């Protein structure tokens, strides 16, 4: 007969310990943070509407409004105060919309906005409790459920250009001669309606960095990860693998580095863990683009790295207030 396993009291006590979050009153509020983030998205939104037309604005409007209404419904069902005036739901809905083709069906934008709030946030306890960046949960759900409706090239077939990361995956580096790096920088490429507006995203992300609403560790290390791994592949065989600058400017790399990977709830807290987080996520972007089934590896790379955040936070932890 196998004897019962008796745990020491000290072990049980350790496992049941719940640590409080480090609270540091800095004078900044959630409202101010969300207003700054929404303002940072404005250049990319305007550039997306200029590039793709009014359907881009309609898609953002549907996703943002449905996300807010879903948040109201979820809060009322939980008996909690309705605080959608903090703009967190609106911001999450717009982030999801930025990943969509500008002409995506309205019901995809609406369904994704519902999933962003319900599966991405509410089931984990609401804003700030989500282990994975909430808009990416909705993106993965819609990408798996309705691949045709989420297909960039298929939805924007009437444009006289192609999706660069899709062309790389299907036709190799020979197909990249049709793209100019200046065009990619200025957002003259097919992609997510806001996620492909590289220059405008740099303006918005630069604003968040200068005003210190986000720290530089994740964006810089994310770019370093993309650059290092793509450079390695490129040195191995430049006839097979795309150059690093292409990986940086194509797809949603910049959007992921500045707005998705920096999600406060699903990214690590410490400086070194944040740097490692960005480095791993950036490296996975290129690996998924080279070996994966999806052309743009940014969403899945960040989602996978989000799951490592609790582990990364154990790397050289620093007591609150310590130097």
The answer to pTM > 0.85 is: yes
**Would you state the pLDDT for residue 24?**
65
The contacts of residue 40 (CB under 8 Å, 6+ apart) are: 204, 205, 207, 208, 213, 259
Cβ–Cβ < 8 Å for 297, 255: no
Report the alpha-carbon distance of residue 177 to residue 154 in Å, rounded.
21
The pLDDT value given to residue 15:
54
Judge whether 255 and 194 are in contact, CB under 8 Å. yes
Tokens 């309205």, residue? Answer: 106
Low-confidence ranges of the chain (pLDDT < 70): 1-25, 317-323
Mind giving me the DSSP string for 186-208? TT-S-SSTTTT-HHHHHHHHHHH
Return the pLDDT at 172: 87
Q: pLDDT tens digits for 223-278?
A: 999 999 999 999 999 989 999 999 999 999 999 999 999 998 899 988 899 999 99
pLDDT digit string, tens, across residues 92-111:
999 999 999 999 999 999 99
Interatomic CA distance for residues 201 and 296, integer angstroms: 17
For the chain, which residues make up each domain, given as ranges?
30-158+169-314
Question: Per residue in 104-124, is it b (16+ CB within 10 Å) or e — as a string?
Answer: bbeebbbbbbbbbbbbbbbeb
**Residue 215: per-residue pLDDT:** 92
The CATH architecture assigned to 30-158+169-314 reads Orthogonal Bundle (1.10)
């Amino acid at each position: 007969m196998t004897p019962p396993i008796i745990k020491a009291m000290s072990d049980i006590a350790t496992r049941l310990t719940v640590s409080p979050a480090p609270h540091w009153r800095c004078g900044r509020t959630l409202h101010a943070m969300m207003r700054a983030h929404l303002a940072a998205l404005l250049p990319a939104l305007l550039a997306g509407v200029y590039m793709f037309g009014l359907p881009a604005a309609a898609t953002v409007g549907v996703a943002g409004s449905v996300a807010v209404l879903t948040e109201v419904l979820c809060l009322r069902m939980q008996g909690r105060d309705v605080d959608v005036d903090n703009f967190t739901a609106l911001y999450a809905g717009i982030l999801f919309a930025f990943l969509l083709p500008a002409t995506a069906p309205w019901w995809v934008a609406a369904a994704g906005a519902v999933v962003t709030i319900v599966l991405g946030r509410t089931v984990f306890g609401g804003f700030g409790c989500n282990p994975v960046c909430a808009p990416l949960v909705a993106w993965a759900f819609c990408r798996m459920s309705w691949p045709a409706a989420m297909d960039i090239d298929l939805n924007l077939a009437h444009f006289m250009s192609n999706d660069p990361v899709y062309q790389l995956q299907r036709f190799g580096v020979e197909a990249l001669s049709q793209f100019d790096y200046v065009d990619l920088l200025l957002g003259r490429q097919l992609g997510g309606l806001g996620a492909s507006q590289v220059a405008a995203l740099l303006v918005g992300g630069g604003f968040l960095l200068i005003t210190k609403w986000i720290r530089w560790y994740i964006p810089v290390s994310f770019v370093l990860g993309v650059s290092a791994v793509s450079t390695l592949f490129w040195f191995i065989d430049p006839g097979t693998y795309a150059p690093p600058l292409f990986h940086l400017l194509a797809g949603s790399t910049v959007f992921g580095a500045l707005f998705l990977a920096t999600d406060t709830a699903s990214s690590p807290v410490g400086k070194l863990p944040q740097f490692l987080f960005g480095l791993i996520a950036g490296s996975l972007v290129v690996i998924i683009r080279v070996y994966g089934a999806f052309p743009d590896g940014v969403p899945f790379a960040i989602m996978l790295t989000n799951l490592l955040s609790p582990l990364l936070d154990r790397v050289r932890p620093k007591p609150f207030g310590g130097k």
